[in-house]
Structures are given as C-alpha cells and as structure tokens.
Amino acid sequence: MFRLQTMPYPKKKQLYGLLFILPWAIGFVLFFAGPLVTSLKYAFHNMEMTPAGLKGKFIGWENFRYAIFKDPEFIREAANSFVNILYAVPLILVYALFVAVLLKNNFRGRGFMRAVAFLPVIIASGVLMDILKEDVFSQGMRGGVDSVYLFGGGGIEGVLTELGFGPKLIEVFNNVIARIFDLTWRSGVQVLLFLAGLHAISGDLYEASSVEGARPWEQFWKITLPMLTPIMLLNIVYTIIDTFTDYGNGVILMIYDTAFSQVRFGYSSALSWLYCLAIGLFLGIVYLLLRKRIVHSQD
C-alpha cells in the first residue's frame, strides 16, 4: 500500500502544490471556462439583441481593428492604465514592505496590527472600494483619487501655506496624502506575502552578519532585500494584475459600459481580450527583466 510518508520530499511538495490549486482548477472548469470561450466567440461577432434573444453575425477581426485603429477612447484609457502602473506598483510595494518590516518585530499587539493590515482585503472588494471613494470620502461622484476629501489635506494645505510653501509643493503633499487611502487598501495581500518571506529568512544569516559587524541597515540591503526577491516578483505580478483589473480602472469601466449600457457585447468582448493580451504581454516583459535578479535560497 502506498504511503505518503515514503514519498520523496520533492514529489511531496509537488503533490501539496497540486492539492492547493485543485479547488481553483475545479472552480475554473465549472464556472469560468464556459463564459471565457463564449466571450472569445462573441469577440468575432456583431451581437444584437432581438425579440428572439441575443443573435450574432460573424464579422471576423473587425471588432479588434476598430478598437486598435478607430477607437481613441480605448487607446487613451489603455495608455492611462499603463502609465498608472509605473508609479502605482512601486508605491504599493514600498509601502507594503515598510509595513511588513515593522510588523515582523516583536511588540505588544503585533497580532492585532497584522489583522488590521489585512482587514481591507477581507471586507473590501473593488466595487466597495470605488463606492467608499466616491460617496463617502470624496466631494462628488467619480471624483477619483485626487478628490478623496477625507485625505485631501485641506487643513494641511492651510498650514503649509502659512509656512510659506509654494503651490507646487503643496500639491505634491496633497497628492501623497490622497494616496494613503489607496495604499492602505491595496497592500494587504502584499504585506502578508512579505511577512511570510521575512519569516522564511534564516536567523543564522543575521547572526553571522552581526558577528562580522554588519549594522541593521546593511543587513537589510545585503540580506533581507536579496532574500525577498522571489516574494517581490510574486508581489509585482499580483499588484500589476490587481491594478489593471481594478473596478475604477478606465478600461474596465469602458468594457462594462460598452456591454451593459450600449449593449455591444461583441465589441466589449473584443476589448476584454485585447486588454487581457496586453496585460499578459506586459507581465511577460516584466518577468524577463526581473528573473535574473531573483535570488534563490538553497535549502
């Protein structure tokens, strides 16, 4: 009789990995595979709502050609999404790493603070995040991150003006304060992953470096940061996908509006597939640029 205890360790790790992804794989086959194939089919059709139901006329690549060459709104929103990635991802990663390093240390209430750091992931979704920003924390509908009133820094703006700061510098302060809300609500998973990576680093490395006279700052740059590079790559991929697919993203809103407001399911499906392919290409480029910088620990 086969026993799990006699299985080689590498095989056992593979089995555990398969068991962890099995629920997702079953859910994908049962609930997502069918709609995914249907959306691909719709992308090559001109779908119209008729009294008999939804009917489609095959038009080949016309939806894709129109999106790439004739729809300035899609190109503009897609470009804005990619530009947003360039500063949003580094900010979230730096913030998450900073919080994770603080939460790794032993102090009274550490468990509670860890729960608080991850709480937004549990109670919030992309839709709830957008509602909070628009209806609770902003001055008007679709105000965006720049109009988050609670963190808009109105009082700080008056103080900085009295201190003699110029309008440009005050604007920088206000933008940073306005993004605190987003950073806090978008970094829960990243903080958790960084914490796992920090605890996986052997304490012997820090002890040996301390004996050699290394200071905490040097230990961070020479030990902590290199050993976190695998987790950092995972966090980069996760943050890129999360930012691209956020409910407040212009492309996501355009796809939703095209499908359910304009009732253009074929064109909306084409936009979805183009956006998905663009995200996949961007992730491939990021992986190729970063894979050689990953430090793999030897177990």
- The per-residue pLDDT for range 35-93, each reduced to its tens digit, is 999 999 999 999 887 777 788 889 999 999 999 999 999 999 999 888 888 888 888 99
pLDDT-based confidence at 143, cuts 50/70/90? Answer: very low
Q: For residue 214, give every residue at least 6 positions away whose Cβ sits within 8 Å of its Cβ, in sequence order, or none.
A: 222
Q: What is the pLDDT of residue 102?
A: 87
- The Cβ of residue 174 has, within 10 Å, a number of other Cβ atoms equal to 18
Is residue 131 predicted with pLDDT exceeding 80?
no
Give the integer Cα–Cα distance in Å for 250 and 245: 10
pLDDT of residue 150: 46
Superfamily of domain 72-291: MetI-like (1.10.3720.10)
In this predicted model, what pLDDT tens digit does every residue of 53-65 receive, in sequence order?
A: 788 889 999 999 9
> What mean pLDDT is predicted for residues 234-240?
93
How far, in Å, are 104, 111, 119, 212 from residue 108 at the CA level?
12, 8, 19, 31
All CATH 1.10.3720.10 domain ranges of the chain, comma separated, are 72-291
Residues with Cβ < 8 Å from 63, sequence gap 6 or more?
Answer: 43, 44, 46, 266, 267, 269, 270
Long-range contacts from 206-211, C-beta under 8 angstroms, 24+ separation: none
- Report whether pLDDT(1) > 50: no
Average pLDDT over residues 182-199: 86
The number of beta carbons lying within 10 Å of the beta carbon of residue 92 is: 24
Instruction: Calculate what percentage of the chain has a pLDDT beyond 90.
Output: 35
Given a cut of 80, is residue 132 above it in pLDDT?
A: no
Largest interatomic CA distance in the chain:
80
**By CB neighbour count within 10 A (0-12 exposed, 13-18 middle, 19+ buried), where does 70 fall?**
exposed
Please give the average per-residue pLDDT across 16-26, as a whole number.
Answer: 92
What's the chain's average pLDDT?
82
pLDDT recorded at residue 4: 65
> Which of residues 271 and 165 earns the better pLDDT score?
271
Task: Give 240-276 pLDDT, tens digit per residue.
Answer: 998 888 877 889 999 999 998 888 999 999 999 999 9
Give mean pLDDT, residues 292-297.
79
Is the entire prediction scored with pTM above 0.85? no
pLDDT of residue 38: 93
The confidence score (pLDDT) of residue 245 equals: 85
